Structure 1
Amino acid sequence: MSDLIEIKNLRKVYRMGNERVVALDNISLGIKKGECCCILGTSGSGKSTLLNMIAGLEKPTKGQIKIKGSRIEKMNEKQVTKFRQKNVGFVFQSYNLLPNLTALENVAMPMIFGGVPKKKREKEAKRMLTAVGLGDRLHHKPSQMSGGQQQRVSIARAFVGTPEIVFADEPTGNLDTKTTMEVMELITNIAKENNQTLIIVTHDVETSVYANRVIHVRDGLIESIDSIDKNEIESKQEA
């Protein structure tokens, strides 16, 4: 099976005054459809920069990023935005919910840009919120929900419309241990059920155990790649 995401010789250099900072240095990586992949590293390792490159949020200094056969780094802003709307969902550490909108409205929002009719948007948003255990919080605003509930809304928004790829950037960074486990089980189970590719970026080793593969990033380089046994994941979830 060919890779859904192909990264070749990826390099990113930032200029800060007269100084050059190498954030990514000649990274090559393949990620398959339906894979749950974790990019693990400390602050400043280059993991978030790598996510931004794959998601088309930043342009590389050099190298290739191919998703579903399309060269992301060659696209202009309008093209890459349209590509993300069709193929990508995001889960953020800080939830990134609009405070004046209800849970239902927040989850339905991505479908507005896709031209989905209102009735269908609301039906799909309700289905996803029910799937993440918030069927009784449809009309609550973020300020009326706990951090864990807000992250569930964020998850529902990321997975609504079944995008082929979901990026989770430090998805449990603001959550306690119990809620972290619940959220990770939720994200990985939804992705597995729908054969979606899930890319998690984190500094937390305990979060990384939920992935199929862990890519250790340090100083802009891939230090090592570990495969995780499915039994280890199930044991973690049952603990």
Structure 2
Amino acid sequence: MSLICLKDVRKVYHVDKEKIVALSRINIAIEAQEICCVLGTSGSGKSTLLNIMAGLEKATRGSVIIDGKNVTNFSEKQWALFRQQNIGFVFQSYNLMPTMTAIENVAIPLMFKGMSKTERVKRAVHMLKIVHLGDRLLHKPTQMSGGQQQRVGIARAFISRPKIVFADEPTGNLDSKTSREVMEIMVSMARKYHETLIIVTHDREIAKYADRIITIHDGSVLSDVSNLAISDSRVNEEELSS
């Protein structure tokens, strides 16, 4: 069984008297440990698709099955618990807590697992070293560059070893060199920890890092193709060992 399965998913927004079809009968199955890119221009429906898979929005019609569970009609409370246990996020705008240090930001997901502060800090330091921020452990977001902030965000997304990591335009605010570095780190971590990584982007260069590219246009799947992913990672296996 596929890890994520969308069946006849449709999403319609009603704005005043106008009906806007954001997604039209989407059928997608994503396998465990797959690195999948949802590619599309602004307004194509790609972010809406991610939001439905992550439970941030509800489908108007259709069903969403994740890890064998029908999550289509989950309540907010059910989704919150499910995300804590199974999902990590990497955001375009980083979404770091401005008053917290890098360690504190990365450790946040572990608080929901009832882990001791000592263990949370230990794991956060380990993750930050993996993403080459061992010298920024006590820095706050305003003391870091955009690329450094995004690496903190990646460490936070992976620290609890979720089954799925969603990355929504993860390089949207970064230059090309930093984008490559961020993607190489993120893909390497997904490979090492055997996690499913779903990247949403408008950038075809970023799509090249995926095993599979699903192109969305006007709310429909335009193409769904396998891809020989870029594999020249800058993060070696030794650095990722836990």
Superposed CA RMSD in Å reads: 1.1
Match of 1:234 among 231, 237, 242: 231
> Structure 1: how far apart are the matches of 2:84 and 2:206?
27
5+ residue gaps in structure 1?
Answer: none
Structure-1 residue corresponding to 2:138 = 139
Between Structure 1 and Structure 2, the one with more helix by share is 1
> Structure 2: how far apart are the matches of 1:199 and 1:65?
15
Q: Does 1:20 find its partner at 2:19? A: yes
Q: 1:235 to 1:146 in 2, by over 3 A?
A: closer
Q: CA deviation at 1:236?
A: 9.3
Q: CA deviation at 1:155?
A: 0.3
Structure-2 residue corresponding to 1:206 = 205
Contact 2:215 2:221 in 1 (8 A): yes
1:147-197 deviation line (CA, Å, top 9, x unaligned) = 110000000000001111000000000000100000000000000011100
Percent pairwise identity: 56
1:117-165 deviation line (CA, Å, top 9, x unaligned) = 1111111111111110111111000111111100000000000011110
TM-score between the two structures when normalised by the length of structure 1:
0.96
Q: 1:131 to 1:10 in 2, by over 3 A?
A: same
Structure-1 residue corresponding to 2:185 = 186
1:22-51 deviation line (CA, Å, top 9, x unaligned) = 000000000001000000000000000000
Structure-1 residue corresponding to 2:240 = none
Contact 1:167 1:200 in 2 (8 A): yes
Structure-2 residue corresponding to 1:196 = 195
Please identify, of 65-74 and 204-213, the stretch whose mean Cα deviation from structure 2 is larger: 65-74
Contact 1:124 1:161 in 2 (8 A): no
Contact 1:168 1:198 in 2 (8 A): yes
1:81-116 deviation line (CA, Å, top 9, x unaligned) = 000000000000000001100000000011112222
The 4+ residue runs of structure 1 with deviation greater than 2 A are 234-237
Contact 2:210 2:228 in 1 (8 A): no
1:42 is paired with a residue of what secondary structure? coil
5+ residue gaps in structure 2?
Answer: 235-242
Count of aligned residue pairs for this structure pair: 234
> Structure 2: how far apart are the matches of 1:151 and 1:130?
14
> Structure 1: how far apart are the matches of 2:100 and 2:61?
40
Amino acid in structure 1 at the alignment position of 2:119: K
Contact 2:188 2:233 in 1 (8 A): no
Q: CA deviation at 1:235?
A: 6.3
Q: 1:84 to 1:178 in 2, by over 3 A?
A: same
